[in-house]
Amino acid sequence: MSHNRNYHHHHRIIPTLLLFGLALGPRVLAGHLVTVDEAYHWFERVERFLAYVQQGDYAHTNLIGHPGVTTMWLGSLGLLAHQKLADLGWLAHANADSALYRAFLRGPVALANALSVVGAWVLLRRLLNPRVALVAALLWATEPFLVAHSQLLHLDGLLTSLVLLALLAAIAAFPLPEWSSEPGSGQRQPIPLRLRWGMLAGSAVAGGLSFLTKSPSVILLPMVGLIAAVGVFRMAAEPQAQEEPQQERRSRVRVLTQVAGRLGWVLLVWGGIAAAVWVALWPAAWVDLPGAVRRVVLQVTYEGASPHGWGNFFLGQAVDDPGPLFYPVVLALRMTPWTMAGLAAAGAAGLVEAWRSRQGDQQQRRETRVPRLSPLALLALYALLFLAMMSLPPKKFDRYVLPVFPALTIIAASGLVRLAGLVGSGTSRLLRPPLMVATAAVGLGGHLLWYHPYELAYYNPLLGGGATAVEALPVGWGEGYEQAGVFISAQPNGCERPTATWFAPVLYRFLCNHWVVPLDAVFEPGTVDYAVLYIDQIQRDNKPHATAMLRTTLEPLHTVWIHGIPYAEVYQLPLPNAHRVDADFGPAIRLRGYDLATSAVRTSGVMTLTLQWEPQGPGTIAEDYQMLVHVLDASGSRVGQIDVPPGGPRAPTSTWLPNSYITWIHPVPVPPDLPAGSYYVAVGLYRPDDFARLPVRGSPQPGSPNDGPNVLMLDPVTIR
């Protein structure tokens, strides 16, 4: 007996640990990317929320009407942990520019979402076939779209976990059909007709936390009400289901009376616990409950009911409201192929079962007078209602329907188990723990690893993946900016001037000088060295004039590609020059212009020559050339000379990239007592191994002295 208990304990604990690890790993290792909403709002909100709580200024914890309180509490736990370790000297005090700091703030959210996957599995084992429950949990743990939002300091991932836990616990609280009615379960087992108050309380707690997270959690009110109504009615009506019709009619009034009383009590308990959680965990509600409620209502009625201020994008067009087809397209493109296959199989199985139920005998029909909505049917109804609710407001984003994805993966799991059962006994054995855990976890985990840490860039490969997505949906939420920032910072002049872009709070964290200006700065010559166009900004047609100017006059210096999607285009803007040249040195290098300053000749004996070079052709330059600069008087005598790399010591010519501009200031020493008069500056490039000069194609300077072949003579300069 003891051996059996130990076997079942290990049989349960090993899959649990594997599932938790599979869920936690990709969620807690979010990489260095920063999303737009984190950069603009949530890092700062967590810092302010914790500061207000520590100061006892509870009224000011009413920061946003989402209300986002659970996110801010979890982020605050990470912030406190970081502060404590920094105080102990184990970490450096940091701000939101630090990847480690961001990981601390995100960590509790990722942990909560990973634990929710395990909690959902525990609940699903009560409701569904154990194999279906485990497959559903594995899909939930590894669905890229779910993972992408479960690793961020944001609302939608947490809302998804809490709403589904509340629904599953509510279903488990009432005597609805359990897993024994699912495929492969054998004979139906008797179901005790009693309310599980612990499950009801757990559902209410999760519901209260959902309400503290984001307003779409209001879907729980009709769903829990329906679940409770069906469950309570079944509890009251099941004993009468076996009676003769005449007796049943006499008891109908009594049953309805019992249902009304029990249902009111159940909903009162659920609502009371949820409300208590909502008030207990929001400090603003302690001191100004009406103000907290009013803030939530205003958030929904004003911001939620208006199109996004930056616009939207759908099916190749920048739009304000994408319309009712937006979310069906989101589901198709964000879903994995196996989830789609499972949903199709589950739908087909549901139609077959519905047809068979209509062919049942009289006793089955009598039993069906008692409502028996299955957990899968309730989850399907929830998904449809949620999609309908979110389709009404004009403000739409793909992440807004994230809460339906776990429900769809659960339904898909039932279809996949059915499909596996049809394939044959060999495949069926793979679906038995622990082989199922090993096989499914390795396959699903490997697929997720391919996209990590860019799960946000996942789009259904069956429908064309990212190439289809960029023509259909708004793509990009900040991912890719980190690569653009690293690239710019690695350039020789990447830290000298600001960079222009649309989502400045995202990019500045990844630049060496943390200096970003609005995209319109590209129209101010000499203000910026680099500009970054982001895919989401391009799709929504934000700053169209700046986008058109960059794309029509310049070629991208670098494009950030992630899983086939061009997320960011980096452009280098040439600095203005006093003198335009356009002279070619060999086949691959062009001198675009120069500035020559002689004001310091008399004081310090230096001419300052600023040259701007542009590589030509599609490839890089194979050799590192040297540059000669000769200063000649009118007779051709050399009075000054330098031999240096043309782009300066940090940018040898072999590192020059196509579509880049290399500008460097070269001090040229000359005697400070030069006679007044006209002087000429000759520029040439040569190979340092044999001193052979590159051929020059440019306009000759009339009347200039001779400095040998293959040099470009600049305009004469007068020294007084």
Residue whose pair of structure tokens reads 């690793």 in the numeric block = 151
Inform me whether the pLDDT recorded for 664 exceeds 80: yes
Q: Give the per-residue pLDDT at 352.
A: 82
Rounded Cα distance, 583 and 490, in Å = 28
Averaged pLDDT, 164-188: 67
Q: Give the per-residue pLDDT at 188.
A: 44
Of residues 59 and 437, more confidently modeled: 59
pLDDT digits (tens, 9 = 90+) for 440-471: 788 999 999 999 999 999 999 999 999 999 99
pLDDT digits (tens, 9 = 90+) for 297-310: 998 888 777 888 89
Averaged pLDDT, 350-354: 81
Q: Give the per-residue pLDDT at 11.
A: 63
Residue whose pair of structure tokens reads 């999607």 in the numeric block = 565
pLDDT digits (tens, 9 = 90+) for 598-642: 999 999 999 999 999 999 988 778 899 999 999 999 999 999 999
The mean-pLDDT minimum among 117-131, 396-410, 414-428 falls in 414-428
Q: With bands split at pLDDT 50, 70 and 90, how would you rate the model's confidence at 205?
A: very high
Identity (one letter) of the amino acid at 707?
A: D
* 87, 93, 104, 281, 482 from 81: Cα distances, Å: 10, 12, 7, 20, 25
Q: With bands split at pLDDT 50, 70 and 90, how would you rate the model's confidence at 64?
A: very high
- CB contact at 8 A, 664 and 610: yes
Residue whose pair of structure tokens reads 């040998």 in the numeric block = 708
Within a 10 A sphere around the Cβ of 445, how many other Cβ atoms?
Answer: 19
Q: Model-level pTM? A: 0.89
Inform me whether the pLDDT recorded for 177 exceeds 60: no
Inform me whether the pLDDT recorded for 686 exceeds 60: yes
Domains assigned to the chain = 11-457 (no CATH), 481-572 (no CATH), 579-719 (2.70.50.60)
Q: Give the per-residue pLDDT at 401.
A: 98
**Cα 244 to chain centroid, rounded:** 59
Rounded Cα distance, 479 and 503, in Å = 11
Q: Give the per-residue pLDDT at 437.
A: 58
Inform me whether the pLDDT recorded for 289 exceeds 50: yes
Inform me whether the pLDDT recorded for 323 exceeds 80: yes
Inform me whether the pLDDT recorded for 185 exceeds 50: no
Inform me whether the pLDDT recorded for 374 exceeds 80: yes
Please report, for the chain, how many H helices and E strands are present, in that order. 26, 17
Q: Give the per-residue pLDDT at 700.
A: 82
Inform me whether the pLDDT recorded for 15 exceeds 90: no
The mean-pLDDT minimum among 233-242, 563-572, 591-600 falls in 233-242
Q: With bands split at pLDDT 50, 70 and 90, how would you rate the model's confidence at 1?
A: very low
Averaged pLDDT, 143-164: 98
- CB contact at 8 A, 190 and 232: no
Q: Give the per-residue pLDDT at 295.
A: 94
Q: Give the per-residue pLDDT at 193.
A: 60
Sheet arrangement for strand 558-562: 516-518, 499-501, 530-534, 565-572, 558-562
Q: Mean of the per-residue pLDDT values for the chain? A: 89
Q: With bands split at pLDDT 50, 70 and 90, how would you rate the model's confidence at 183?
A: very low
- CB contact at 8 A, 644 and 669: no
Inform me whether the pLDDT recorded for 422 exceeds 90: no
- Residues with Cβ < 8 Å from 453, sequence gap 6 or more? 26, 29, 30, 31, 32, 33
The mean-pLDDT minimum among 49-58, 118-127, 139-148, 171-180 falls in 171-180
Rounded Cα distance, 462 and 169, in Å = 34
Q: With bands split at pLDDT 50, 70 and 90, how would you rate the model's confidence at 419?
A: confident
Inform me whether the pLDDT recorded for 182 exceeds 50: no
Averaged pLDDT, 181-210: 74
663: number of CA atoms within 13 Å, CB side? Answer: 19
Rounded Cα distance, 262 and 293, in Å = 29
Q: Give the per-residue pLDDT at 436.
A: 61
Inform me whether the pLDDT recorded for 8 exceeds 90: no
pLDDT digits (tens, 9 = 90+) for 259-271: 777 888 999 999 9
The mean-pLDDT minimum among 189-198, 307-316, 642-651 falls in 189-198
Q: Give the per-residue pLDDT at 7.
A: 47
pLDDT digits (tens, 9 = 90+) for 208-255: 999 999 999 999 999 999 999 888 887 776 655 444 455 555 566 666
3-state secondary structure 653-687: HHHCCCCCCEEEEEEEECCCCCCCEEEEEEEEEEC
Inform me whether the pLDDT recorded for 312 exceeds 90: yes
Q: Report helix, strand or coil for 341.
A: helix
Q: Give the per-residue pLDDT at 181.
A: 42
